[in-house]
Structure 1
Amino acid sequence: MTRDTDTHLVVIGNGMAGHRLVTTLLARKDRPARITVLGEEASHAYNRILLSPWLAGELGRDELALPAMVAEGVECRPGARVINIDRSSHTLTLESGERLHYDRLVIATGARPTLPEVAGIQLGNVGAFRTMEDGEWLRQQAPGSNAVVIGGGLLGLEAAEGLRKLGMHVTVLQRSDRLMNRQLDAVAAGWLKQTLTRRGITIDTGAELARLDGDSNGNVRSLTLRDGRTLAADCVVVAAGITPNATLGQLAGLEVGRGICVDEHLATRDPAIFALGECAEVDGATIGLVEPIWQQVETLADVLCHRTPVPYQALPSPTRLKVAGIDLYAFGPVEPSEGMETLTYADPEHGDYRRLLIDNDRIKGAVLYGDTRDGPDLFRLATNGTALGEARSLLIFGAHDAIQQLEEAA
Structure 2
Amino acid sequence: MLTDLTTSPPGDTLLIIGYGMATARLLNRLADMGYPGPICVVSRENTVGYNRIQLTPWLANPDASIDLNLVNPNVMSRLNIRLLTQTDVVSFSADLHQARLSNGSALPFAQAVFATGAQPLLPTSDFKPQPAIRAFRTLNDGHFLRALPKRSRVAVLGGGLLGLEAAWGLGQLGHQVTLIHRNDHLLNRQLSHPLASLLANTFTKAGIELRLNSQISRIDSDPVLTGVTLNSNETLPISCLIAAAGIRPNIDLARQAGLATAQGIQVNAALQSSAGHIFAIGECTEFATQTFGLVAPVYAQAEVLAQRLMGGSAQFAVSHSDTRLKISGLDVFSTGQVNHPKAQVLSLVDHHQQRGRTLHLLHNQLIGAELLGDLSLANYFNDLIRTKSPIVDNRELLLGRSQNAA
In the alignment, does 2:353 pair up with 1:373? no
1:183 maps to which of 179, 190, 209: 190
2:326 maps to which of 319, 322, 326: 322
1:173 maps to which of 170, 180, 183: 180
Query: Counterpart of 2:69?
Result: 65
Matches within 5 A, 1:139-218: 139-215=146-222, 218=223
2:316 maps to which of 312, 318, 334: 312
Query: Counterpart of 1:40?
Result: 44
Query: Counterpart of 1:396?
Result: 398
2:238 maps to which of 233, 237, 242: 233
Tell me the secondary structure at the aligned position of residue 135 of structure 1: helix
Query: Counterpart of 1:90?
Result: 97
Q: Distance in 1 between matches of 2:192 and 2:90?
A: 44
CA gap of 1:198–1:62, structure 2 versus 1, over 3 A, is closer
CA gap of 1:10–1:108, structure 2 versus 1, over 3 A, is same
Tell me the secondary structure at the aligned position of residue 327 of structure 1: strand
1:9, 1:32 within 8 Å by CA — same for their partners in 2? no
Tell me the secondary structure at the aligned position of residue 64 of structure 1: coil
Indicate the larger mover: 54-63 or 193-202. Answer: 54-63
Query: Counterpart of 2:22?
Result: 17
Consecutive unaligned residues of structure 2, counting only runs of 5 or more, are 1-9
Query: Counterpart of 2:365?
Result: 362
Tell me the secondary structure at the aligned position of residue 207 of structure 1: coil
Q: Distance in 2 between matches of 1:102 and 1:93?
A: 11
What amino acid maps onto 1:14 in structure 2? Answer: Y
- Scaled by the length of structure 1, the TM-score of the pair is 0.91
2:229 maps to which of 224, 229, 232: 224
2:194, 2:347 within 8 Å by CA — same for their partners in 1? no
2:194, 2:349 within 8 Å by CA — same for their partners in 1? no
Q: Distance in 2 between matches of 1:233 and 1:393?
A: 47
Q: Which runs of 4+ in 1 moved over 6 A?
A: none
What amino acid maps onto 1:222 in structure 2? Answer: G
2:195, 2:349 within 8 Å by CA — same for their partners in 1? no
Percent of aligned pairs with the same amino acid: 35
Query: Counterpart of 1:74?
Result: 81
Query: Counterpart of 2:6?
Result: none
In the alignment, does 2:353 pair up with 1:346? no
Q: Distance in 1 between matches of 2:245 and 2:229?
A: 17
Consecutive unaligned residues of structure 1, counting only runs of 5 or more, are none
Q: Distance in 1 between matches of 2:313 and 2:160?
A: 38
Query: Counterpart of 2:120?
Result: 113
- The Cα offsets for residues 354-397 of structure 1, whole Å up to 9 and x where unpaired, read as 0111223321001111112221331232123233446x654323
Query: Counterpart of 1:303?
Result: 308
- Scaled by the length of structure 2, the TM-score of the pair is 0.92
1:153, 1:240 within 8 Å by CA — same for their partners in 2? yes
In the alignment, does 2:391 pair up with 1:384? no
RMSD: 2.1
1:85, 1:93 within 8 Å by CA — same for their partners in 2? yes
